[in-house]
Amino acid sequence: MAKGKVTYFESVLALFFMFFFVFVGYLLFDLRVELMMIAAASGAGLLALRSGLSWKEMEDAISTRIVSATPAILIIWVIGIVIATFIYSGSIPMLIYYGIQIVSPEHILISAFGISAIFSLVTGTSWGSVGTVGVAMMSISAGVGVPLHITAAATISGAILGDKMSPLSETTNLASATAGVGLYDHIKSMTWTTFPAAVITFIVFFITGRSLDISGQAESNTAIAMLSELDAIFNWNWLLIAPFIIILIGAIMKKPPVPVMLLGSFTALLIGVFYQGFTMENGITASYSGFDISMIPNSGNTEWSEAILTLLNRGGMLSMVSVIIIIYCGYAYTAIISKAGFLEKALSPLTSRVKKRGPLMITTLFTELIILVFSGTSYTVAIMIPEMFKKPFIKAGMSAKALSRTIEDVGTMIAGFVPWGTSGAFYIATLGVPIFGEGGYAKWTVLSYTTPIIAIILAFTGIGVYKLSKDEIKEELEKYDKEHRLKEV
């Protein structure tokens, strides 16, 4: 294996390839991020070959990494189907129809934040929340004139808040398992950083919503026109919430998300056929290529507004293709730098020198950020961070519960800021809003960057870090060394 042969210069250079091609090529020159990641992976691959890693070993590493991502990829495919069929049935349009009438513009942001949080908490998936509630809230915002990038930030903030605190979430379970902490101990520990950040986020969206300068008459006319068109297309009935209820019940019963979402989609398909009067053929087509307003009977005789076309023409498996391609390209790079030992070697100066709580927390969070940026997924963070920092945390007198929550304070919270990562790519594709720039959601996603700041403050003050006594430190170190000797055997 090449790990013992790589130099520090090669390791830093391998990471630099990602910075150069993706940051410079994608962010500055707007080149396709998929091709930029392939270029970065090619550069890292050449360095890996020079250090002794064979193409077969790199190929196997890429295959293994993609296989590990298969559950997430399956969910992404199915969410494309969910969005299309939930529009086809009228389920999402009904939320929009009544939401425009009920939710006032100044309350849309806190509504998006709160509803998304509840949905993610119950289902355990931020993607499912963004793909259903988020799509509806974005359309309501478009109807009443609320800036879409701020609504996207509110939706994403709520979605990741609920996901992080949900016992059904994959990342929550993974972080607790890799750190060796009980699931509910892990969730309880996260309240120390997450609850204050959530309060701050709520206040920001509340104040922002109240201070929005919206041209009432113009936006009112847009909303009225949208309501009229939705009324002409769909029949309204409480039956239309059945697909949502199926997903919620499945989550509460802890059933696998993919079959549950497919059942909800099939139910939506039947509602579209037997209640809305659409054809089964169009429903199946929508599941694959997305719903299109031309599927509505006699739609060719009507001139639809741009707003309604933007609202309804979306979803389907094909809408998720770009997300999947980004994941494949990103994992190719991640697999190579991990297999060759570049990532571990480049980060070794950071991980070996800090011993006190505050500096150690800063180092851990910064290392997480680097791993997240270069891997594109919080799963990698959850796997690597305990291996790198569990012993330093014990030596600094901090419990494993503090480490487990630290994994998510960046891994879960910042994942949506990486354009080539699984979450970032999904949010961009689903909500149609960029991450950075004037119309980007990053600067408004307050929850994401206040959580790590609070984690650092707690580490320096010693509050909520579950401090270990000298005897407990000694006991935990002995336990740690024993476990790792067994692993080596």
Contact of 130 with 426, CB cutoff 8 Å: yes
Compute CA distances 271 → 87, 186, 189, 239, whole Å.
11, 41, 43, 8
Given this model, what pLDDT does residue 172 score? 80
* 443-448 average pLDDT score: 94
Q: What is the Cβ-side half-sphere exposure of residue 398, based on CA atoms within 13 angstroms?
A: 33
Which residue would you say has higher pLDDT here, 406 or 384? 406
Contact of 308 with 231, CB cutoff 8 Å: no
Given this model, what pLDDT does residue 122 score? 67
pLDDT band of 222, cuts 50, 70, 90: low
pLDDT band of 236, cuts 50, 70, 90: very high
Burial class (CB in 10 A: 0-12, 13-18, 19+), 141: buried
Which residue would you say has higher pLDDT here, 16 or 444? 444
- Total residue count of the chain as it appears in this document: 489
Phi, psi (deg, nearest 5) at residue 398: -110, 135
Find the range with the poorest average confidence among 40-49, 224-233, 348-357, 441-450: 348-357
Compute CA distances 336 → 13, 57, 375, 424, whole Å.
13, 9, 10, 22
Contact of 175 with 406, CB cutoff 8 Å: no
Judge whether residue 488 has pLDDT over 50. no
Given this model, what pLDDT does residue 5 score? 75
Please write the tens of the pLDDT for every residue from 33-68: 778 888 988 999 999 998 888 999 999 988 887 886
CA angle centred on 290, ends 30 and 103, rounded to 5°: 85
Amino acid at 86: F
Given this model, what pLDDT does residue 252 score? 76
* 111-137 average pLDDT score: 82
What global pTM score does this model have?
A: 0.72
250: CB partners within 8 A, 6+ apart:
257, 259, 260, 261, 263, 264
Which residue would you say has higher pLDDT here, 346 or 290? 290
pLDDT band of 279, cuts 50, 70, 90: very high
Contact of 415 with 208, CB cutoff 8 Å: no
Q: Return the sign of the alpha-carbon dihedral for residues 70, 76, 82, 85.
A: negative
Phi, psi (deg, nearest 5) at residue 467: -60, 140
pLDDT band of 483, cuts 50, 70, 90: low
Give a three-class secondary structure readout of the chain. CHHHCCCHHHHHHHHHHHHHHHHHHHHHCCCCHHHHHHHHHHHHHHHHHHCCCCHHHHHHHHHHHHHHCHHHHHHHHHHHHHHHHHHHCCHHHHHHHHHHHHCCHHHHHHHHHHHHHHHHHHHCCHHHHHHHHHHHHHHHHHHHCCCHHHHHHHHHHHHHHHHHHCCCCHHHHHHHHHHCCCHHHHHHHHHHHHHHHHHHHHHHHHHHHHHCCCCHHHHHHHHHHHHHHHHHHCCCCHHHHHHHHHHHHHHHCCCCHHHHHHHHHHHHHHHHHHCCCCCHHHHHHHHHHCCCHHHCCCHHHCCCCHHHHHHHCCCCHHHHHHHHHHHHHHHHHHHHHHHHCHHHHHHHHHHCCCCCHHHHHHHHHHHHHHHHHHHCCHHHHHHHHHHHHHHHHHHCCECHHHHHHHHHHHHCCCHHHCCCCHHHHHHHHHHCCCCCCCCCCHHHCHHHHHHHHHHHHHHHHCCCCCECCHHHHHHHHHHHHHHHHHHHC
**Which range in 112-126, 179-193, 216-230 is most confidently predicted, on average pLDDT?**
179-193
For 73-86, letters b (16+ CB in 10 Å) and e give bebbbbbbbbbbbb
Phi-psi category of 31—alpha, beta or left, where left has phi over 0 and alpha has psi -120 to 50? beta
Mean of all residue pLDDT scores within the chain = 83
Contact of 232 with 164, CB cutoff 8 Å: no
* 366-378 average pLDDT score: 82
* 24-40 average pLDDT score: 78
Find the range with the poorest average confidence among 48-52, 95-99, 238-242: 95-99
* 230-259 average pLDDT score: 86
* 457-463 average pLDDT score: 92
Given this model, what pLDDT does residue 123 score? 67
Please write the tens of the pLDDT for every residue from 245-271: 998 788 778 788 789 889 999 999 999
Q: Return the sign of the alpha-carbon dihedral for residues 157, 158, 164, 169.
A: negative
Given this model, what pLDDT does residue 167 score? 72
pLDDT band of 300, cuts 50, 70, 90: low
Q: Return the sign of the alpha-carbon dihedral for residues 339, 343, 347, 351.
A: negative
* 464-468 average pLDDT score: 87
Phi-psi category of 445—alpha, beta or left, where left has phi over 0 and alpha has psi -120 to 50? beta
C-alpha to C-alpha distance for 285 and 291, rounded to whole angstroms: 8
